[in-house]
Amino acid sequence: MADIERVIMPGVTHWHSPRFYAYFPTANSYPAIVADMLSDAIACIGFSWIASPACTELEVVMLDWLGKMLGLPEEFLACSGGKAGGVIQGTASEATLVALLGAKARAIRQAKEEHPDWTDYEIISKLIAYASQQAHSSVERAGLLGGVTFRNLPTDEKFRLRGDTLQEAIQKDRDAGLIPFYVVATLGTTSSCAFDVLTEIGPVCNKENVWLHIDAAYAGSAFICPEYRYLMEGIECADSFNFNPHKWLLVTFDCSAMWLKDPSDVINAFNVDPLYLKHDQQGSAPDYRHWQIPLGRRFRALKLWFVMRLYGKNHLQAHIRKQIELAHEFEALVLSDDRFEIVAEVLMGLVCFRLKGPNDLNEALLKRINGNGKIHLVPSKIKDTYFLRLAVCSRFTESADIVSSWQEIKQLTTLLMEEKKH
């Protein structure tokens, strides 16, 4: 343990420091840690129901609880009695890839019905997936991994993908004899926390028979607060929905919650079922190995159970609301200084801001900020505009941290401006 302090801690980036504002939050809480300890102690591998029934069954129930807490439409939940249900993936990247592979399997199956003479490879070469230019890098990467073409579509002035843009792109591809098959809509982009307009995108996807996957990795947690659900209107059109309780809902990494209205295509796409993995109860409960890329899986539903029971909906809502409030507090401070501008509407816990003026000025400022070691930010760039991102990350961040962090930024800005003058 002494070596942890000596060797490890000096090289750790402190994601839970109250003044860590980089990337997006990664969650942490005592209930989640205790649940992980139990999971490590039980140490079962839940690849099939029989390999540890409680591991599978608790996951089915927890994803229903969580889905209800978010206000997901009932057709995503296992309790609806259909094929639907949730599953814990490791990361949102995997959820995007799993949905893409399901959509690909469905598209191949449907194209073969219409064109029995086409080979799989011919069909795959025609498949087109879509996301906004602001989608996360893992979306483009899912296309690379899945071996299909992705189109990154332009966004509106609020960095949102709109229905018309999607409709046009799909029509253009259909006219060229291609097969639009998959759309990823982002609720809460990484660069600026923009929300694609689902009420427009959803109907286009349904009309065009295109699988709609929703990536709400960060912002999805906010839907436990009813006042933010307007941002997911249109979700009823989606085939799959994903968000990361391990980002903003106090559940330690990894716990990425994904729901599928109809998992059949995902399950059938990867289904290899050797005798040593078969069991008598197949079909009566999910064998989650068919829902994911890996075979093995830990008992992660325990973390969800512990966090939901020990905090309860009210405390989880309070956590989300507090962090959004802190972001608005920082936004107000930025707006109070006319050297700065806000780059994107602040809806969640992320504030995108910059010094008015050229990009290199902002790059220089960020270098000073991170070099000074008191707070940590990462930048982003949209349409050639470079800006700084302040994401309220830590559960320990308080108003005093926001105020002193702003002081730090202001002081470094003043110094920088003075040096520029000389």
In the region spanning residues 186 to 205, those forming contacts with a copy of itself, defined by CB under 8 A, are: 190-191
Between residue 360 and residue 419, which ones bind a copy of itself under the rule CB under 8 A? 378-381, 386, 389
> Residue 404 CB, nearest distance to a copy of itself (Å)?
23
Q: Does 101 help bind a copy of itself (rule: CB under 8 A)?
A: yes
Tell the smallest beta-carbon distance from residue 41 to a copy of itself (Å).
7
Q: In the bound complex, what is the minimum distance in angstroms from residue 163's beta carbon to a copy of itself?
A: 25
Rg, C-alpha atoms of the chain: 23
Q: What is the token pair recorded at 371?
A: 């070099």
- 3-state SS of 47-102 is CCCCCCHHHHHHHHHHHHHHHHHHCCCHHHCHHHCCCCEEEEECCHHHHHHHHHHH
Q: Which residues make beta-bridge pairs with 138?
A: none
140 binds a copy of itself (CB under 8 A): yes
257: nearest Cα among 144, 399, 91, 50: 91
Amino acid at 63: L
- Choice between 62 and 205, CB closer to a copy of itself: 62
Given 7, 114, 177, 383, the residue binding a copy of itself (CB under 8 A): 7
CB of 205 or CB of 366, closer to a copy of itself? 366
- Closest to a copy of itself by CB, 42 vs 415, is 42
Identity of the residue, 294 or 312, whose beta carbon is nearer to a copy of itself in the bound complex: 294
Q: 131: which 2 tokens?
A: 């996301």
Q: With contact defined as beta carbons under 8 Å apart, do 93 and 138 qualify?
A: yes
**DSSP string computed for 203-251:** HHHHHTT-EEEEE-TTGGGGGGSGGGGGGGTTGGG-SEEEE-HHHHSSP
**Which stretch, 66-74, 90-98, 207-215, 403-411, contacts a copy of itself (CB under 8 A)?**
90-98
Query: Residue 288 is encoded by which pair of tokens?
Result: 């989650």
Least gap, CB of 397 to a copy of itself (angstroms): 15
Put the strands of the sheet holding 211-215 in their side by side order: 85-89, 256-260, 240-243, 211-215, 179-186, 127-132, 149-153
Which of 54, 79, 225, 416 touches a copy of itself by CB under 8 A? 54
Residue 33 or 335: the one with the smaller Cβ distance to a copy of itself is 33
Q: How far is the CB of 230 from a copy of itself (least distance, A)?
A: 27
- Number of residues located near a copy of itself, criterion CB under 8 A: 82
Binds a copy of itself by CB under 8 A, chosen from 5, 6, 8, 177: 8
Bridge partners (DSSP) listed for residue 87? 258
Region near a copy of itself per CB under 8 A, out of 29-37, 64-72, 317-325, 413-421: 29-37
Q: Looking at beta carbons only, is 320 or 388 nearer to a copy of itself?
A: 388
Phi first, then psi, for residue 372 (nearest 5°) are -75, -20
- DSSP per residue, 103-125: HHHHHHHHHHHH-TT--HHHHHH
- Minimum CB distance to a copy of itself, residue 71 (Å): 26
Give the separation between CA 327 and CA 324, rounded to whole angstroms. 5
The answer to whether residues 391 and 24 touch, using CB atoms and an 8 Å cutoff, is: yes
Ranges within 223-242 binding a copy of itself (CB under 8 A): none
Nearer to a copy of itself by Cβ, of 272 and 400: the residue is 272
CA–CA separation, 188 and 241 (whole Å): 13
Does 87 interact with a copy of itself (rule: CB under 8 A)?
Answer: no
DSSP 163-190: HHHHHHHHHHHHHTT-EEEEEEEEBS-T
* 101-163-148 Cα angle (round to 5): 25
**Is 119 or 407 the residue whose CB approaches a copy of itself more closely?**
119
**Which CB, 186 or 191, lies closer to a copy of itself?**
191
Binding flags for a copy of itself, 299-338, as an x/- string (CB under 8 A): ---x------------------------------------
Q: Minimal distance in Å, beta carbon 365 to a copy of itself?
A: 15
| Rounded distance between C-alpha atoms, residue 29 and residue 200, angstroms | 37
C-beta closer to a copy of itself: residue 226 or 371: 371
Stretch 246-285 residues interacting with a copy of itself (CB under 8 A): 246, 252-254, 269-270, 272-277
